[in-house]
Structure 1
Amino acid sequence: MKKVFLLLLLLLTILSCKENKKSSFVKDTTHEAKIEALLAKMTLEEKIGQTNLRGVSSRATSLPTDLKESVRKGNVGAFLNIMNLDYVDELQRIAVEESPNGIPLIFGRDVIHGFKTMFPIPLGLAATWDAQIVEKSSEIAAFEASAYGIRWTFAPMLDIARDSRWGRIAESPGEDPYLATVLGAAYVKGFQSDDLSNPYSMAASAKHYIAYGAAIGGRDYNTVDMSEQLLRNVYLPPFKSAIDAGSATVMSSFNEINGVPATGNEFLLKDVLRGELQFDGFVVSDWDSVTEMVYHGYASDEKHAGELAAKAGLDMEMTSTAYENHLKELIKENKVTIEELNEFVRNILRIKFRLGLFENPYRNKEHKGNFYAENHLKEAKKAAIESTVLLKNKQSILPLSEKTKVAIIGPLANAPHEQLGTWAFDGEKEHTNTPLHAYQKASTNFMFAKGLGHSRDKSKKGFKEAIDVAKKSDVILFFGGEEAILSGEAHSRANIDLPGAQEALINELAKTGKPIVLVIMAGRPITITNIIDKTDAVLMSWHPGTMGGEALYEIINGIESPEGRLPVSWPKTAGQLPYFYNHKNTGRPADSVNFVSIDKIPIGAWQSSLGNDSHYLDAGFTPHFPFGYGLSYTTFKYADISISKETINFSENLEVKVSITNTGKTAGKETVQLYIQDVVGSITRPVKELKRYQQVFLKSGETKEISFQISAKDLEFVNHKLVKAAEEGKFNLWVGPNSAEGLKTSFSLKK
């Protein structure tokens, strides 16, 4: 019998390796026998205990006696937000030394874009288009957080976000599924390292599964209704990438998808996640999302919600208590089977074994995290520089010369807390390097007047001082945007203009005749249509994190160049939203030749005289700045696009080449982007889709040939029959600096 078991275990290991051949990550199945042995010893109550994720307030001054007793009985599987190190140590000691089977706890925390050393918000990290920066940011976050015993983070967020009104766009990788797949894998690798048992690593949690970013109106927690084709073609790929990279856990989302909440969605959690994607870690609910199914109108009460979540395949319940209160009874009533519960426990134990918690359950007290270490700050500064997007640079006003006398004005010029951005629970404003700090450190020629107390400030009492300072300067640096609290979870905005009296102050400053450089710190694209003509340059720095001030100083003064590219389309007005570059063509696509704007419509015009195509009369049909856009301090020329063949078959690769020349006076980095359009499909296809990109550094006058490889697999999509396949036909291809520009060629795919 033992030989049969060993042969079976070997076969499972081989199959697992074969299953993941396309990924660099290979599933570790060596703990399965230990899991089964442990499972056989556990009581029903202890099994249910593993499914319970509990927490106490970060500000708690003592551990509740009943909570410690729950751990002692084996009735808790994991904790979140335990930030007192003595509590971490005590709870783990009770679990390992006093609970019936000594099963260790996992301690989790929202470590989203840094722990102490804060990196740019995830949307800012996405603007780097650099997987190495993303990986390094999450590696440093894990290293710092693990000093607190945190071995599990609720990141990365992989929700495709097409609506800048949505507060959680700040946490997203942007609007494009290809870019999100590249960055999603990098996050997982950085958090988890190559070995999840590494005590300086954390288990990742790919969230929010799924389509959370498609909430109606950009309102958080709202309804999602979409076709399965759209779900699979746009919203699923980043999760597949993260799972292929080995993401230990997945978090279900708050929202419903086509009438069924994600937390109780058997099709998504079992058929797709377990069956198709072969995920073998555990699925945790979002905060109270199990019992929120009652409010959705999908469950009648807490017990019913627990039943629905269990039948759907949810392994662990965050904070709410439907499993704790009702799973035992549901099993007794045969509404949930013991084998279903056993599977939840297997999945949870599997990750605990992979984390090495059974061998090393306790945090390393000698590991202090190296908070704000020099190399951590260096990487955070690099990320802030490479995430900053130059949107406008009239007459190359930037970079400024050393002799320029600047007026530093605006509510975010010296706002150390706001600069850290959303989900910066453990960041400390005392360590934030603000733009004002950077200028003070450099001892340059500047004057400072805040003008507004905070981003929402509507008082004009500070205007006079700001205007007086502006008049004495050569250039105005206006640091505006939105406070950290205005983006993130539950912080959606209907109007995404600069809040408060910022526009009014900019208009007054413009009257001085001094050039204005607008530096935006925000968790989303901010509509600046009303005031962009009053500015000479615009820099988008997102919420840049701990080292944002020094990064911006070096960019503004030409020590470094802004290298970011937009990971989302930048709208002219919130009325355009949702907006995304990879939209469909429609039967009446808008174009600049036939478009008639609202101001050009003749009075008394006959209805049919207008250009009858898909546009807004007052906003047109293009964004303010397209996806992939970003200027540099130099210029680049694209030339000589070529393809290896005009027609390829399903087993051949297409090689695409293009020459890039730095035609400016300074060295710089260009993000070369390749887009493809499937001209005719069995379902209508997007006008363009990002398929590849490369970043190339060029000296002034230097030319390099860039090469891309495209295969039939890159042309696949899920069709109306829910079959993923490439189809024969013509394809347009562009290589350029963003989604709206580029050199064009075409090729065909044939069997």
Structure 2
Amino acid sequence: MSRIDSLLHAMTLEEKLGQLNLVTAGQAVTGPVVCGDTTKDIAAGRVAGVFNLWDLEALMRAQRCAVQESRLGVPLLFGLDVLHGFRTIFSIPLAEAGAFDPQLWERTACAAALEAASEGIHLTFAPMLDVSRDPRWGRIAEGPGEDPLVGERFAQAKIRGFQGDDFSRIFPLAATAKHFCAGGAATAGRDYAAVDVSERALHEVYLPPFRAAVEAGCAAVMTAFNNVNGVPMSAQGRLLNGYLRSRLKFDGVIMSDYTAIAELVEHGVAADSIEAAAIALKAGVDMDMVSGVYLAHLPEALARGLVEERDIDVAVARVLQLKKRLGLFDDPYRVARLDDSVKETHCILALEAARRSATLLINRGLLPLSANLRRIAVVGPLADSGADMLGPWSAAGGAENCVTILEGLRRALPYCEIAHHSGVAIEGDDESGIAPAFALAEGADAVVLCLGEAARMSGEAACRASLGLPGKQRQLAERVMSAGAPTVALLSCGRPLAVPWLFKRAQAVVAAWFLGHRAGEAIADILTGRFNPSARLAVTWPCDVGQVPIFYSARSTGRPFDAANFYTSRYLDCSNDPQFPFGHGLSFSRTTLSNLRVDCAELKTSQTTRVRVDVCNESDIATEETIFLFARDRVASVARPLMELKDWKKIALQPQQGATIDFVLCAQAFQFPGENMEPTVEPGGVDIFVGFSADAEKLLSARLRIVSA
């Protein structure tokens, strides 16, 4: 008999339910703290795991209680939201996605995993894989952006980084793919709101990153708060037991989000907590996060015949199997050991990630800043705010270790006079600081305008109906720019901001996002030309909130926009076009693409073909470029998007260097869910597009035809 079978045989019903009970210690704000002191419950075997606790001594004390004082000595599982770093904080995921570099994504996850494991954490509630096309949604900051292929590769890289190759690292951090699924499509961009999406959208857009996560071996999946088409995800047996368990063969742990099972009553699908517990368990949710309804109410559900004990046993076995995979039965006190050299390596990696995450949006010749500048005015509420550089979900990262924009510029330009004034607060109505900020700008050779959002304005429960600058920042910006000094605007934010007036007036604008501990140095390196910016947008940037949701891979209509025809798809008061397309991003170099060619004009469904394009750095500055390959199936049984991302490649080029980019495509790259939602590849013509972004007017194009084998 295996250890897990032996434990199951020995457990009382209460002890079994304890292994389905995940509680919070309350050290981080993820919702209302309802659990209080859990020591007695741990000793009684009523707790499977604790999260939001990262003090090593406190963790070990709790673990000793579980191992030495509970009847069966089952060790605890310790979890935390380690989304973009633990002690060392890296760029937020939406920003880091713009590097389009799976190796970087994996390296930062690995660094975060090692740091978390060194302080006793076993499991992270990451990666967040919600595809989102609505920047009003606060949690867009936590994920890989709008494209499902980017989401797939992001999932694979992050899970490799956290867990190693199938838990191959000595101290893996178990990864939790969340939030399953479609939370990024919440009604009106509002957290927790209902989601109504078609079955096609589920299979084409929202499920693929989770499929990739399962294929990569993720240890756990977390259900979303929202309902999907009327059924809350913690009650969605069709997608949990059906899609995840049966179709994808996922055998890991499925857990609810914070109090989500109890919320089934408020959703209106359960009459009381007893029904809620039964519905969630039968749907496939193994662990109840925080609400306590499994522990309190599954006994009554069992007595009523709403669940069977074997349903409970299966869920308990999955939780115990995860603990076994993590090595907790062999060494419940296991922690990784990090020396100072590893910590310094992580610090260097944080700078690299920050540099490669900031996106240069416009540049009218101002950047890089001239070495002859003698006086720079650094103005705005984000100039000297270390805590806001960390962004949401900054785990155990301390703001005191963060390099602010002001500090970064002063370090990079020691011989330049740098004057600073915040001007206004991020929020609020006080305009008294605008006049002194204007006075600084009047006497400056250049202005660095530091605008944006507070870190708490992104993440969970941080949705915005407006995408403009909060508070009086617009008034500050317009007044400062009226001084006439050349101005670069830095937008620190967790979402695209609709500020077309700023893009018209500033000489340069950088999406500085929330770049983590080394934010100020990274931004200073870009502004001074020490680093050639290379990030590209992983999300379409709207020019007005009325365009939202907005994304590059829309389908055509029967009446696509035609400026000469009023009765076509259009707005009366705004262009259809975004401010910036998916993939947009500038650098200080000048790179061109030419000579796009496809190896064969016809591609059999059993074959592969190569798509080649020549790339040349025509400038005197070394560069790193991202080349995207899009495709469109011109005629199909189901109308296809105008463009779909099929691949991308990155290349580093020295000054005046040329190279050839080589994409390998198989016919399966063009498959899509057919009318029955099963993957299908249909014969017919396909347009191939290659370029630096999803701007259709700037793409090179070629054609091929898919034929039956």
More displaced 10-residue stretch of structure 1: 654-663 or 466-475 = 466-475
Shift of 1:69: 2.5
Q: CA separation of 1:197/1:38 partners in 2, compared to 1, >3 Å: closer, same or farther?
A: farther
Identity of matched residues, %: 38
Provide the secondary structure at the position in 1 that maps to 2:2.
helix
Q: What is the alpha-carbon distance in structure 2 between the residues aligned to residue 59 and residue 739 of structure 1? A: 39
Q: What is the alpha-carbon distance in structure 1 between the residues aligned to residue 685 and residue 265 of structure 2? A: 49
Q: How many residues align?
A: 700
1:116 to 66, 87, 102: 87
Q: Look up the equivalent residue of 2:702 and give its one-letter code.
A: T
2:58 to 68, 71, 87: 87
Q: What is the alpha-carbon distance in structure 1 between the residues aligned to residue 425 and residue 164 of structure 2? A: 40
1:534 matched to 2:505: yes
Shift of 1:430: 0.6
2:4 to 35, 54, 61: 35
Q: CA separation of 1:334/1:359 partners in 2, compared to 1, >3 Å: closer, same or farther?
A: same
Residue 166 of structure 1 is matched in structure 2 by: 137
- The answer (yes or no) to whether the contact 2:104–2:353 under 8 Å persists in 1 is yes
Residue 275 of structure 1 is matched in structure 2 by: 246
Residue 210 of structure 2 is matched in structure 1 by: 239
Residue 704 of structure 2 is matched in structure 1 by: 747
Residue 179 of structure 2 is matched in structure 1 by: 208
Residue 284 of structure 2 is matched in structure 1 by: 313
- The answer (yes or no) to whether the contact 1:412–1:479 under 8 Å persists in 2 is yes
- List aligned pairs for 1:604-623, cutoff 5 A: 611-623=566-578
Cα deviation 1:100-119 (Å, max 9, x = unaligned): 22211100011111111110
- List aligned pairs for 1:665-704, cutoff 5 A: 665-704=620-659
Q: What is the alpha-carbon distance in structure 1 between the residues aligned to residue 310 and residue 35 of structure 2? A: 33
Q: Look up the equivalent residue of 1:643 and give its one-letter code.
A: V
Shift of 1:279: 0.7
1:733 matched to 2:688: yes
Q: What is the alpha-carbon distance in structure 1 between the residues aligned to residue 359 and residue 417 of structure 2? A: 24
Q: What is the alpha-carbon distance in structure 1 between the residues aligned to residue 343 and residue 223 of structure 2? A: 35
Q: What is the alpha-carbon distance in structure 2 between the residues aligned to residue 53 and residue 228 of structure 1? A: 32
Shift of 1:619: 1.6
Shift of 1:148: 2.1
Q: What is the alpha-carbon distance in structure 2 between the residues aligned to residue 567 and residue 81 of structure 1? A: 30
- List aligned pairs for 1:443-458, cutoff 5 A: 443-458=414-429
- The answer (yes or no) to whether the contact 2:410–2:418 under 8 Å persists in 1 is no
Q: Look up the equivalent residue of 1:474 and give its one-letter code.
A: D
1:386 matched to 2:343: no
Q: Look up the equivalent residue of 1:347 and give its one-letter code.
A: R
Provide the secondary structure at the position in 2 that maps to 1:658.
strand
Residue 342 of structure 1 is matched in structure 2 by: 313
Q: CA separation of 1:503/1:669 partners in 2, compared to 1, >3 Å: closer, same or farther?
A: same
Cα deviation 1:171-225 (Å, max 9, x = unaligned): 0110000011111111111111235374532101000000010001101111111
* TM-score, normalised relative to structure 1: 0.91
Q: What is the alpha-carbon distance in structure 2 between the residues aligned to residue 65 and residue 326 of structure 1? A: 19
Cα deviation 1:616-645 (Å, max 9, x = unaligned): 122211110000110110111110000011
Shift of 1:66: 6.7
Q: CA separation of 1:583/1:558 partners in 2, compared to 1, >3 Å: closer, same or farther?
A: same
Shift of 1:132: 1.1
Shift of 1:33: 3.5
- List aligned pairs for 1:638-649, cutoff 5 A: 638-649=593-604
Provide the secondary structure at the position in 2 that maps to 1:648.
strand
- List aligned pairs for 1:27-176, cutoff 5 A: 33-58=2-27, 67-176=38-147
Shift of 1:67: 2.5
Cα deviation 1:686-714 (Å, max 9, x = unaligned): 11011100011112221101010111111
Residue 437 of structure 1 is matched in structure 2 by: 407
Residue 580 of structure 2 is matched in structure 1 by: 625
Provide the secondary structure at the position in 2 that maps to 1:739.
coil
Cα deviation 1:91-150 (Å, max 9, x = unaligned): 211222232222111000111111111101110111111111111111111111112211
- The answer (yes or no) to whether the contact 1:451–1:465 under 8 Å persists in 2 is no
- The answer (yes or no) to whether the contact 2:51–2:78 under 8 Å persists in 1 is yes
Provide the secondary structure at the position in 1 that maps to 2:501.
coil
Q: CA separation of 1:688/1:572 partners in 2, compared to 1, >3 Å: closer, same or farther?
A: same
Q: What is the alpha-carbon distance in structure 1 between the residues aligned to residue 702 and residue 449 of structure 2? A: 42
1:427 matched to 2:409: no
> Unpaired segments of 5 or more residues in structure 1?
1-31, 595-609
- The answer (yes or no) to whether the contact 1:155–1:207 under 8 Å persists in 2 is yes
- The answer (yes or no) to whether the contact 1:410–1:478 under 8 Å persists in 2 is yes
Q: What is the alpha-carbon distance in structure 2 between the residues aligned to residue 191 and residue 305 of structure 1? A: 32
Residue 257 of structure 2 is matched in structure 1 by: 286
Q: CA separation of 1:552/1:456 partners in 2, compared to 1, >3 Å: closer, same or farther?
A: same
Shift of 1:578: 0.4
Provide the secondary structure at the position in 1 that maps to 2:118.
helix
* TM-score, normalised relative to structure 2: 0.96
- The answer (yes or no) to whether the contact 2:27–2:52 under 8 Å persists in 1 is yes
Q: Look up the equivalent residue of 1:214 and give its one-letter code.
A: A
> Unpaired segments of 5 or more residues in structure 2?
none
Provide the secondary structure at the position in 2 that maps to 1:390.
strand
- The answer (yes or no) to whether the contact 2:584–2:693 under 8 Å persists in 1 is yes
1:721 to 667, 672, 676: 676
Shift of 1:370: 5.0
Q: CA separation of 1:399/1:56 partners in 2, compared to 1, >3 Å: closer, same or farther?
A: same
CA RMSD in angstroms, aligned pairs only = 1.8
Residue 607 of structure 1 is matched in structure 2 by: none
Provide the secondary structure at the position in 1 that maps to 2:687.
strand
Q: Look up the equivalent residue of 2:394 and give its one-letter code.
A: A
